Structure 1
Amino acid sequence: MASKLDAILYPVTDIAAAKAQFTALLGVEPAVDQPYYVHFQPADSLAVGLVPNGRDRGLTGGTPFWTVDDINAEVKALVEAGGTVTEDPHDVGGGKLVAVVQDAQGNVIGLAQS
C-alpha cells in the first residue's frame, strides 16, 4: 500500500536546459546533480527529479512516485491488477529502490522504497 507521494520525475532529453528551467521555477539549486539524475528538494514541497532518457525507461510526462513499504509486493499486486512492469525494482543509490508500472489504461505509476 502506498503511504505518500514521494517525488515527481520528469523525463528530459537535455539535462542542462531542464536543470536551468527547474532551478528558475523552484528557486533552489539541485540537491543531487549528476549526469544520470538531477534532484530538487524545495522546502515544504514534493521532490522533483529530472531523468535523462526517462522516456526510454517508461516515464511519460511528469511521473509521480509513491512511497511503499515493500516495492516487490506492490509491483506484484499492480501486475495482478492488470499492470505491466516497465522498469523492474532497482537501487538508484543510498539503498533507495524504484520501479515503474504501467496500469491497464496506460497510466504510469512510479514506486519508491527507502
Structure 2
Amino acid sequence: MLGLRTTIYQVPDLAAAKTWYTQAFTTAPYFDEPFYVGFNIGGFELGLLPAEKATTGQPDNVLSYWGVEDIETVYQHLISLGATTHEAPHSVGGPLLVATVRDPWDNIIGLIYNPTFPNTITEKMSHP
C-alpha cells in the first residue's frame, strides 16, 4: 500500500458537478472527458464519475477527509455553494478538527484540520 491517491464521487449530472467542484475546490479540472473529470487537489486526485442511477440516499460507509488550513472558512464556503451540513466543524482531540458536508448530489465531503500532518507533498517528502 502506498497511501490514498484518489477519491471519486459519483454524480448524475457530470457537467453541473464539474462546475460545482471547480468552485468548491477553487481548482479547474486537469482531465475533462464525458466519462470522467479529474482534479489535482494538492497532489491527490478528486474524481467525478457519471452515476448510473440517482445518488440520493447515499450511504455513509466511507469518508475521505480533505486537509484544510482553516476548517470554518472552507466549511462555510461549501455551504455557500449549496452543500448541506452532515457534521459541523468540531474537535476530535487536541488540535484536530473535522467537518463533513453533503454535495448537491448527496456525496459526503470530509474536511480536516490536522497540524501534525505535512500540508503538501513537498513537506511530506522532507518529513519521512
TM-score by length of 2: 0.43
- Report which of the two has the higher share of strand: 1
Q: Which has the larger radius of gyration?
A: 2
TM-score by length of 1: 0.47
